[in-house]
């Protein structure tokens, strides 16, 4: 037969919360959080934005190179106007270069000046 454990708290003695013997200071955590969330700094620096604008300009140039294609004479079909080297090869290559510049701009980490603090 199993024995029942006695409840240490009786109706005359209410339960009290226990206290921890380990003390933890929250100051290092708060200090690290403040350093991580610096409201004066942006994720991208001025160099990143410069490279982003250059990449957008190169991609825009590629789209401009790809545009057009109006036939000089509407009664004739000239494949050399539509399927020219500029529209089929050069423009997509320029657009891919622009996308590469955009990727570089996103991952670029500029030189950070360290102070003597």
Q: Tell which residue, 68, 58, 67, 64, has the closest CA to residue 94.
A: 58
Percent of the chain with pLDDT over 70: 75
pLDDT of 81 above 60: yes
Whole-number pLDDT of residue 102: 96
Cα-Cα end-to-end distance for the chain? 73
Whole-number pLDDT of residue 16: 78
Average pLDDT over residues 93-105: 97
Q: For residues 50 and 116, which has the higher predicted lDDT (pLDDT)?
A: 50
| Total-model pTM | 0.59
pLDDT of 89 above 90: yes
Q: Which two tokens stand for residue 103?
A: 């990727």
Average pLDDT over residues 85-110: 94
Query: pLDDT tens-digit profile of 15-72?
Result: 777 777 777 676 777 777 666 666 567 788 889 999 999 999 999 999 999 998 778 8
């Amino acid at each position: 037969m199993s024995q029942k454990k006695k409840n240490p708290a009786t109706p005359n003695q209410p339960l009290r919360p226990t206290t921890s013997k380990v003390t933890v200071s929250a100051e290092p955590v708060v200090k690290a959080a403040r350093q991580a969330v610096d409201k004066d700094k942006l994720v991208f620096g001025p160099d990143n934005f410069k490279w982003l604008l250059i990449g957008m300009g190169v991609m825009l140039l590629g789209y401009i190179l790809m545009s057009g294609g109006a036939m000089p004479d509407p009664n004739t079909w000239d494949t050399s106007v539509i399927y020219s080297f500029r529209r089929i090869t050069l423009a997509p290559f320029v657009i891919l270069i622009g996308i590469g510049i955009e990727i570089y701009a996103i991952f670029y980490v500029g030189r950070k000046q360290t102070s003597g603090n």
